[in-house]
Amino acid sequence: MHVHVPHQLRFLLAFLAVMIIISTWLIIRNNGTKSDYSHASGKILTLTKRLTPKLPYSDYGSYRYLIIENYPYPFEIYNDDQNPLIDGLKKGDMVTAYYYETDNTHDERINRFLQFLQKGNKMYVKQREFNKQMGYYLIMLCLVFALFFYRLYKAGKIPY
């Protein structure tokens, strides 16, 4: 028995499958422990609200920029409920940064993927759950859309 599936439905389901794969990668990538990431230890050279040269897509009120010795790029840290802890760090403090890099890190010469920042035994930055939660929401949304598109197909609303 050969089932004829409309090209539009095939395209929509293929798109949803790609979105589920990307979402799964997002969940896996942001579900690590400190030992899963690269790390660099060193003294804080700079911790500031502004970075020069000015970055084209940054809201300087919402970020802190951290430069430590032994790592070539500044870290961009989102300024949310962790702000009081971040602002408690001083130039010269010894910290360990746990991070990952992408091609953009090298192209833009800034690391936006700091997952943990530790001074001694105190954690100053913990990875945010936002990316992981977003991955779960996207998977659920894709499954809902797939069911919706299947119902449209069965109702004859998606032409062949």
How far apart, in whole angstroms, are the C-alpha atoms of residue 142 and residue 64? 34
Fold of 34-128: OB fold (Dihydrolipoamide Acetyltransferase, E2P) (2.40.50)
How confident is the model at residue 143, as a pLDDT? 95
How confident is the model at residue 117, as a pLDDT? 92
3-state helix, strand, coil split of the chain in percent (to 5) is 40, 25, 35
Structure tokens at 105: 């890190």
95 contacts 41 by C-beta, under 8 angstroms: yes
| pTM for the structure as a whole | 0.68
How confident is the model at residue 157, as a pLDDT? 86
How far apart, in whole angstroms, are the C-alpha atoms of residue 160 and residue 153? 9
- Segments in the chain below pLDDT 50: none
How confident is the model at residue 148, as a pLDDT? 94
Cα 111 from chain centre: 11
How confident is the model at residue 138, as a pLDDT? 94
How confident is the model at residue 60, as a pLDDT? 60
How confident is the model at residue 1, as a pLDDT? 61
CA 77 to each of CA 14, 17, 113: distance values in angstroms, whole numbers, following the listed order? 35, 32, 8
How confident is the model at residue 50, as a pLDDT? 79
112 contacts 63 by C-beta, under 8 angstroms: no
Q: Count other Cβ atoms within 10 Å, centred on residue 114.
A: 18
How confident is the model at residue 140, as a pLDDT? 96
How confident is the model at residue 2, as a pLDDT? 67
DSSP labels, 97-147: EEE---HHHHHHT-B--EEEEEETTEEEE---SHHHHHHHHHHHHHHHHHH
How confident is the model at residue 22, as a pLDDT? 92
